[in-house]
Amino acid sequence: MNPAEHTTSESRTLGLNRNKGEVIELRLRTDAYDGYRDYRTIRKTLCHELAHCVFGPHDRDFWNLTSQIEKEVERADWKSGGNQLSNQEFYNPGDWDNVQGGEQFDECGWTGGEFVLGGLQGDSNGGRSGNVASSGTLSRREIMARAAEERMKRESRARKQNDAK
């Protein structure tokens, strides 16, 4: 939902239910567009809009249903606990084999870790190669220029490989 369209001097609409649940709109962004609303606020708004699928006006039945939905959602929330399936403890040592030298590897080829854009390869931040400015990092302009150069080099190598075939 666009905050500008649903804010007046008297109200701030956080959710909208059209045609008894055919479309439910929620206002996720803050009024200043500088972030997102609190998760609990969005969740309560969704419960409110779901109750409108059954009851249109804000009467006692509506508020009772809203309260019931909120309680069910709270009970099912992952933070409120879980169900233990057995009394056994499980440990899979293979999980630790995927972590090597601060980088994580999975079976699909994904490599994770902490990297700093413009940092040096092999430095403590795990960045890539390049000359470092006097402050220890590259400027945005230098980073973008190097990225463009790297793309051009890769494209040139790929063209040469295709021409050789």
49 is catalytic: yes
Residue type for position 63: W
Question: CA nearest 42: which of 64, 52, 27?
Answer: 27
| DSSP three-state, residue 45 | helix
Contact between 30 and 3 (Cβ < 8 Å) = yes
Question: CA nearest 132: which of 120, 121, 123?
Answer: 120
* Residue from 5, 49, 150, 155 carrying the catalytic annotation: 49
Contact between 6 and 27 (Cβ < 8 Å) = yes
Would you name the residues annotated as active-site residues? 49
